Amino acid sequence: MATEPSSTGSPKRPTPAQTANAMRDSALDASRVVRESMKGRVASHGDTPASTGNVANIVTVARILLAPVFIWLLLWDNGDLGVIRYIAAALFIIAIATDSLDGQLARRRNLVTDVGIILDPIADKILIGGALVALSILGELWWWVTIVILVREFGITIFRFIALRDRAIPASLAGKAKTIVQSVAVSLFLVPLWTFLGDWVHVVNWVVMGLALALTVYSGIEYLWQAWKTRKRV
């Protein structure tokens, strides 16, 4: 907001009323943008703009909202491995299984939106990251494993949004495999199969988690290498 210079040559500070009006105008503009983004197709296929509130984005948001619920249940069980633990594990598996569902809906029905592109990877990071942190809090997973995976996941996500806003690096085979193996590894840790199958299940769990960790680190290095080559060509 422009201000008139005072008699001393310094600009006048806006009055409380002017500040309130500016805040109100900003809120109205933001509200108008949100309303406009909600217009469009919700579920039908077509070439017209898709609504931000389309069915694919709804699935993504539902996945995000399930994260705090299953994390709370997991911590509430507190390692007792009772019914609550199985419910928490089931919620995680259901939530992570929708990862491909929202993407397929968006592509098949042409419902891809900027909001969906941003929220989809964030949803996966919140689900898997939250599960890893909860397992470490419970003492069932080494903290250094959780930290390495979280640093890679959120570091690459931030790098992608900030440093590579004007160009995209396609997901590699290692990156896709990483996501799948992470989901399987976390699911194996969450479902206490060892209680009725025996302690050998722990060996399987750690082998799969080790593979997930290796793929996480490798795919992160591969992504940075591809980004460096892309920037070098520009």
One-letter identity of residue 35:
R
More confident residue, 71 or 20: 71
Task: For residue range 170-188, list pLDDT tens digits in order.
Answer: 667 888 899 899 999 999 9
Q: What local confidence, expressed as pLDDT, does residue 32 receive?
A: 47
Distance CA 234, CA 230 (A): 7
- Please give the angle made by the CA atoms of 71, 75 and 77, to the nearest 5 degrees: 120
pLDDT of residue 68 exceeding 60: yes
Domains contained in the chain, CATH given: 55-233 (1.20.120.1760)
Task: For residue range 73-119, list pLDDT tens digits in order.
Answer: 999 999 899 999 999 999 999 998 887 777 777 777 777 777 777 78
Distance CA 172, CA 184 (A): 19
Share of the chain above pLDDT 90, in %: 42
Residue environment code for 36-65, b if the CB has 16+ CB neighbours within 10 A, otherwise e: ebeebbbeeeeeeebbbbbbbbebbbebbe
One-letter identity of residue 1:
M
Task: Output DSSP code: residue 138.
Answer: T
| 168, 77 contact by CB (below 8 A) | no
Distance CA 55, CA 52 (A): 9
The residue with tokens 């680190």 is 217
| 45, 110 contact by CB (below 8 A) | yes
| SS3 state at 62 | helix
Of 156, 150, 157, 149, the C-alpha closest to 211 is 149
What is the sign, positive or negative, of the torsion defined by CA atoms of 154, 155, 160, 161?
positive
Backbone angles phi, psi at 126, to 5 degrees: -65, -45
More confident residue, 203 or 230: 203
- Confidence bin at 223 (pLDDT 50/70/90): confident
Distance CA 49, CA 117 (A): 15
The residue with tokens 């040559």 is 9
